[in-house]
Amino acid sequence: QVLKEAGYATAIVGKWHLGHADPAYWPMQRGFDSHYGPLIGELDYFTHEQHGVVDWYDNNERKEEEGYTTELLGRRAVELIDGHDPATPLFLYLTFNAPHTPYQAPQTYLDQYAHIADADRRAYAGSITAMDDQIGAVVDALERRGMRDNTLIVFHSDNGGTFNAMFAGEGDMSERKIPCDNSPYRDGKGSFYEGGTRVCGLVNWPGHVQEGITVDG
């Protein structure tokens, strides 16, 4: 809302996860010009369902659409950049659901990690690589539009890796090995210990943020 008032075009592509029961709290009622993706935090990557209900929106309208969520979100982000007038500042909030449970990835990405025996770890790795590819596509779009040198990119996670099956979402992980390790920190998602709250963050802005600097804060 603050950025909107400051003259930015504002868009969220990805999960909202900040209130879905009341439309008054949906993204377009909270300062965003557009929203594409789910309102809740976890859904099937291919059916876009949670509890048997499709949770996939294009602005305020529910939408049934085929495709792997990570690729759909990346594609929409690129479309927004391609259609944006660089003379106007843009705030693009890109929130992938990857690599949240359920651990799923297209076969092409699973094949890249065929050497990993555990199916969940293999899908986890594949989902991260799929996300990485889409981030690359977004950066390429910024370059193509001449916006790269005037764009501050911030990448971070909302919590540490899932260490306890209690916090794995709706997916039943109680009898399976969760493919996360927050070492050397204690515990993980859902905990106040550093394994749950201390996450990496990457900041990039050519000519403004010095490259190769690590801050252990």
Q: Give the pairing type, strands 57-58 and 34-37.
A: antiparallel
- Stretch 40-45: mean pLDDT: 93
Contact present, 89 and 109 (Cβ < 8 Å): no
- DSSP-assigned beta bridge partners for residue 202: 155
**Single-letter amino acid code for the residue at 15:** K
Cα–chain-centroid distance for residue 30? Answer: 19
Answer for the pair 126, 113: CB distance below 8 angstroms, yes or no.
Answer: yes
Please tell me the distance from the alpha carbon of residue 74 to that of residue 53, in angstroms, as a whole number. 23
Q: Which of 31-35, 119-123, 148-152, 176-180 has the lowest mean pLDDT?
A: 176-180
Given the structure tokens 């859902």, which residue do they identify? 190
pLDDT per residue as tens digits for the range 190-212: 888 988 888 889 999 999 999 99
Residues 138-163: what's their mean pLDDT? Answer: 93
Confidence band of 75 (pLDDT split at 50, 70, 90)? very high
pLDDT tier at 18 (50, 70, 90 boundaries)?
very high
Q: Look-up: residue for tokens 């059916």? A: 47
Coil, strand or helix at 132: helix
Query: In 48-69, which positions are buried (b, 16+ CB within 10 angstroms) versus exposed (e)?
Result: bebeeebbbbeeeeeeeeeebb
Inter-CA distances, 136 with 47, 71, 89, Å: 25, 12, 21
pLDDT exceeds cutoff 80 at 171: no
Q: What is the mean pLDDT of the chain?
A: 92
* Backbone torsion region of residue 44, taken as left when φ is above 0, otherwise alpha when ψ lies between -120 and 50, otherwise beta: beta
Say which residue, 87 or 160, is predicted with more confidence: 87
Strand spans (E) along 123-169: 153-156
Domain extents in the chain? 2-157+200-204
Given a cut of 80, is residue 166 above it in pLDDT? no
| pLDDT reported for residue 72 | 99
Q: What tokens were used for 131?
A: 């996300």
CATH superfamily of 2-157+200-204: Alkaline Phosphatase, subunit A (3.40.720.10)
Strand locations in the chain, DSSP E? 9-14, 34-37, 49-50, 53-54, 57-58, 61-62, 90-95, 153-156, 201-204
78-130 pLDDT, tens digit per residue, is: 999 999 999 999 999 999 999 998 999 999 999 999 999 999 999 999 999 99
Mean pLDDT of 178-195: 85
Single out the residue of 86, 111, 102 nearest to residue 176, CA to CA.
102
